[in-house]
Amino acid sequence: MSAQKCDIAIVGGGPAGLAAGLYGARGLVSTIIFEKQASGGQITTTSWVENYPAFPDGVSGTDLGELMARQAEKYSAQIELFVTVTGIERADGGGFVLRTDSGTDWHARAVILACGAVPRRLDIPGETKYTGRGLSWCATCDANFFKDKVVAAIGGGDTAVEEAMYLTKFASKVYLIHRRDEFRAAPIAVERARKNEKIEFVLDTVPVEILGDGTRVTGLRVKSIANDAERTIDVSGIFQFVGVEPLNELVTNLADVTNNAGYIVVEDDGSIPTIPGLFAAGDLTNNSLKQVVSAAGSGATAAAAALKYLDESE
């Protein structure tokens, strides 16, 4: 097993990790970003980002990720795509060793965790069986498979409401199924969805089973919160947007620094007080607004703190 050295290793190539990479590289220290998928992290599953400053007409999530990656690379940040960091250990003599599935171990003097979060599951019957067979977590990736079909979007947050709107570009009808009659999503997005004739709101209702013919999704069994009555909604596609879970495995093996919900508790500068040299940024942290702009900001902040740490520990 070969081992390489860097000053700052960043785990996660979403907005937080890419911004950290840009600031680390511009601080003239060797900076590497590991991303297990494509650049951009979760925003690549977002059809259209309307609230990232400097894009008055919006920008696709994929394009925004690519632009951020290009800017970090311009200043010599090294981006390793499709590489998973499988473990992090404290190194003898200081710093950290990152194990990767590429066959290379990396020794880093400082590490910034920007692994983000993954979509939450509902844990209802049919969910595992029909994943990728009509059940999806990504409208950007899969909406075009449902041209002129009827689909359901589940959830009441920004993701559900925004992606339900995106789905109407393809589907003939979108049921927006939410367990309450109030939304977490921004009012402007809910208002827009209410005006869209292709969207039917199904409120105070929870999904209880994904139905299918053995090969593909054919419907969704739902239950009314008000009277427990169940019914089936015929759909050929189901998109689940019921929140996210932090990807915290790498840190939980190092120390007990997460809160009850699994988010890493950081100081204002992204540092983790009990582990000098370890920082976190973005959706994985306890104080995240879960916006692209705040993720990028926290990445820059964590990189600045990491640079200061490197300076002081020399």
Q: Residues 148, 156, 293, CA angle at the centre, nearest 5°?
A: 100
Q: Is 206 in the site for ligand NAP (CB under 6 A)?
A: yes
Residue 116: CB minimum distance to ligand NAP, A: 11
Q: Which of residues 3-62 bind ligand NAP (CB under 6 A)?
A: 51
141, 181, 213, 311: which is the annotated catalytic residue? 141
The window from 19-27, 74-82, 128-136, 149-157 that contacts ligand NAP (CB under 6 A) reads: 149-157
Angle, helix 187-194 to helix 158-167, in steps of 10 degrees: 30
Sign of CA dihedral 265, 111, 24, 295: negative
Helix (H) or strand (E) holding 194: helix 187-194
Tokens 């053995």, residue located:
214
Residue 182: CB minimum distance to ligand NAP, A: 7
Tokens of 18: 């890419």
Q: Is 136 in the site for ligand NAP (CB under 6 A)?
A: no
- For the question of residue 138 being annotated catalytic, the response is yes
What is the distance between the alpha carbons of residues 271 and 263, in angstroms, rounded to a whole number? Answer: 14
What is the distance between the alpha carbons of residues 289 and 195, in angstroms, rounded to a whole number? Answer: 27
In the complex with ligand NAP, which residue's Cβ is closer, 31 or 62? 62
Candidate residues 179, 192, 221, 308; the one interacting with ligand NAP per rule CB under 6 A: 179
Q: Identify the CA nearest to 10 among candidates 288, 282, 309, 257.
A: 282
Helix, strand or coil, per DSSP, at residue 14? coil
- For the question of residue 141 being annotated catalytic, the response is yes
Instruction: Give all strands (DSSP E) within 101-167, no chain letters.
Output: 104-113, 117-119, 135-136, 150-154
Would you give the binding string for ligand NAP spanning residues 237-276, x where CB under 6 A is met? ----xxxx--------------------------------
In the complex with ligand NAP, which residue's Cβ is closer, 154 or 303? 154
In the complex with ligand NAP, which residue's Cβ is closer, 106 or 183? 183
Q: Is 180 in the site for ligand NAP (CB under 6 A)?
A: yes
CB 75 within 8 A of CB 26: yes
In the complex with ligand NAP, which residue's Cβ is closer, 9 or 153? 153
Residue 189: CB minimum distance to ligand NAP, A: 7
In the complex with ligand NAP, which residue's Cβ is closer, 23 or 183? 183
- For the question of residue 213 being annotated catalytic, the response is no
Residue 298: CB minimum distance to ligand NAP, A: 14
Residue 205: CB minimum distance to ligand NAP, A: 9
Candidate residues 149, 192, 290, 308; the one interacting with ligand NAP per rule CB under 6 A: 290
Sign of CA dihedral 269, 271, 273, 276: negative
Q: Give every CB contact of residue 142 below 8 A, 6+ residues apart in sequence.
A: 136, 237, 239
Residues noted as catalytic? 138, 141-142
Q: Residues interacting with ligand NAP, by CB under 6 A?
A: 51, 122, 155-160, 162, 178-180, 184, 206, 241-244, 290-291
